[in-house]
Every structure is written in structure tokens, then in C-alpha cells.
């Protein structure tokens, strides 16, 4: 019994140690993060409104965001033939009705699909970047799967090189994306996406990974410039300690109202909004 208690104590100390170290993983800001990139409100998946026929992650939603002075957040996945697709879900079912995953179909198939019963087509990253180049900014979330984090990140960053007038940041739930950026493109502003994974019913991670990622313990290795945390989980222990001990720039997703926007802005935080026109 004593041996078991000692092992549990060691595990607890390891967790505490890693947690404290992760909170200390501070990285200086680069590329004017606290300048131009920090001045925008970020429209979640574009300035979409399906009741008006404007689907999420559509060219129309992104065009409206850019033309109205907003930056935008978007999601990037890779098709079966290696093209960069703007799509949040792994499955195409919810947004296109197709019973397949993004990674299982080619870009030719994807280009024939329409979004949410509208005429809007599934866009690719190269369609979106020109809309924001020389205008506002993009917060690009990378969604790797099946171990393609390195290939996906390289493809995206290679394409971004073609737009020198584009302001952007890259974020991901997957710390391996941030590790790749840290090693190969340290000039790019990188952010750790997170939430309370114990509350996420769709989460398939084991207990250890839920704890580690909810509390951003990988920050010690990835050294992110900012943290983007789920707004509904803002009162949890993880983001609270992260703010007090580490002091990173915080983004919150998804902020649902102007009142809450005002409170966050007063606190010095950045917002990713949806469902209203932030002011």
C-alpha cells in the first residue's frame, strides 16, 4: 500500500512540475503581434449568417469580413490529393451533406460540393488569402489528422510566403504543429488552442492527455505567442493559472455578444466572435 501511495505522490509531483514549467514557457512577441494583428476583431469562420444564405467558412463570409474591416478565423485541412481545404469538421456531412471525410476525397470532388444548401462552394486556402492580403488579417487554424501535421503545416506556410502583404497568425489544438513552426518557421506567430477537454463529449483522448492539453502543459516545449481558449471555459483553473503565472496574450472563442466583447477588451484580451457584428 505504501508503494502505491509513493507512486501516486510521484505522479502528482510530475503533474505539478510540468504544469508550473508550462506556465513559465514565455516567448517574446514578434512581427508586431501587439501592433496591427492585435487591433482587429476576428470573425469566427468568417462573417457568416446562414439565415441570410451566408455559410460558415465560405468565400462570401470571408469577403464580408474583410470588406467590413474584420479579420477572420478559418480552418484548414488537407484533401486526399494534398490540397488545402477550408473546412471545420473532419466529416463533410454537416456542411455539405456528403457522407465522407475531407481527407478521403480529392479536391476535384470537393470543388463540386456546395455549403449548407446554398450556391457557395467549398473554398481552398488559395481562394481566401487574396481577400485579406493588404487588408486586415487571418487567424489560421490547422487541423491535422492521421499524422500529417508536418506536411500540412509546411504546405500552408509555403503558400503564405506568396502573400508578403498578408497579416496572419497560425494556431492549432495539436502541439506538434506549434513544434514544427518553432523549429522551421519561428518568425510566424503561433498560438495554442485549448479548452476543457473533460467537458467535451466528443473528445477521444485519455485522461492524461485531457489533463495535459486542458492545462496547456505542452507550452514548455512549444513556447506559443498566445493562447486561444474556449470562452465557455474561461473560469476554469487552467486559463486562470496560465494568465497569472505565465501572462500570455489571450484570445477567447467564441465570444457571443457585444457586452462580453467590451468586458474582454477592457481586460486586454482579444476576441474571436460569432453571431453579431462586433464593434
For residue 254, give the CATH number of its domain: 3.20.20.190
**pLDDT attached to residue 138:** 97
**pLDDT attached to residue 246:** 74
Q: Coil, helix or strand for 120?
A: coil
**pLDDT attached to residue 6:** 45
**pLDDT attached to residue 66:** 98
Q: Select the more confidently predicted residue: 4 or 187.
A: 187
Cα dist. 159→41, 134, 155 in Å?
A: 24, 16, 6
Q: Select the more confidently predicted residue: 3 or 192.
A: 192
Start-to-end Cα distance in the chain: 60
Mean per-residue pLDDT, 225-247: 89
Report yes or no: 258 and 38 within 8 Å, Cβ to Cβ. Answer: no
Q: Which domain holds residue 247?
A: 2-25+33-273
Q: Determine phi and psi for 109, rounding to 5 degrees.
A: -65, -45
Classify residue 278: in a domain, yes or no: no
How many domains does the structure of the chain reveal? Answer: 1
**pLDDT attached to residue 4:** 46
Classify residue 236: in a domain, yes or no: yes
Instruction: State pLDDT tens for residues 115-171.
Output: 999 999 999 999 999 999 999 999 999 999 999 999 999 999 999 999 999 999 999
Secondary structure letter of residue 122 according to DSSP: P
Instruction: State pLDDT tens for residues 45-89.
Output: 999 999 999 999 999 999 999 999 999 999 999 999 999 999 999
pTM of the shown model: 0.90
14, pLDDT greater than 70: no
**Average pLDDT over the chain, rounded to an integer:** 90
231, pLDDT greater than 90: yes
* Nearest in space to 62 (alpha carbons), one of 143, 142, 122, 144: 122
**pLDDT attached to residue 2:** 43
Integer Cα distance of 253 and 43 in angstroms: 10
**pLDDT attached to residue 11:** 56
Amino acid at each position: 500500500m505504501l508503494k502505491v501511495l509513493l507512486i501516486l505522490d510521484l505522479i502528482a509531483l510530475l503533474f505539478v512540475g510540468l504544469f508550473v514549467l508550462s506556465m513559465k514557457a514565455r516567448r517574446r512577441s514578434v512581427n508586431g503581434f501587439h501592433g496591427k494583428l492585435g487591433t482587429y476583431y476576428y470573425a469566427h469562420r468568417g462573417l457568416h449568417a446562414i439565415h441570410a444564405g451566408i455559410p460558415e467558412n465560405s468565400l462570401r463570409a470571408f469577403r464580408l469580413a474583410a470588406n467590413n474591416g474584420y479579420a477572420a478565423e478559418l480552418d484548414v485541412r488537407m484533401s486526399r490529393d494534398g490540397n488545402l481545404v477550408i473546412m471545420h469538421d473532419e466529416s463533410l456531412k454537416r456542411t455539405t451533406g456528403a457522407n465522407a471525410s475531407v481527407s478521403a476525397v480529392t479536391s476535384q470532388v470537393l470543388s463540386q460540393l456546395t455549403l449548407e444548401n446554398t450556391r457557395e462552394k467549398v473554398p481552398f486556402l488559395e481562394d481566401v488569402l487574396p481577400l485579406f492580403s493588404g487588408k486586415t488579417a487571418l487567424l489560421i487554424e490547422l487541423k491535422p489528422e492521421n499524422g500529417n501535421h508536418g506536411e500540412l503545416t509546411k504546405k500552408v506556410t509555403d503558400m503564405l510566403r506568396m502573400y508578403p502583404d498578408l497579416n496572419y497568425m497560425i494556431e492549432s489544438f495539436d502541439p506538434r504543429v506549434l513544434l514544427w513552426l518553432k523549429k522551421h518557421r519561428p518568425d510566424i506567430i503561433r498560438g495554442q488552442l485549448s479548452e476543457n477537454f473533460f467537458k467535451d463529449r466528443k473528445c477521444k483522448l485519455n485522461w492524461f492527455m485531457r489533463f495535459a492539453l486542458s492545462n496547456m502543459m505542452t507550452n514548455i516545449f512549444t513556447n506559443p505567442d498566445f493562447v486561444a481558449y474556449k470562452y465557455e471555459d474561461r473560469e476554469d483553473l487552467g486559463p486562470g493559472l496560465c494568465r497569472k503565472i505565465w501572462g500570455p496574450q489571450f484570445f477567447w472563442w467564441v465570444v457571443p455578444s457585444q457586452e462580453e466583447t467590451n468586458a474582454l477588451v477592457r481586460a486586454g484580451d482579444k476576441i474571436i466572435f460569432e453571431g453579431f457584428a462586433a464593434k
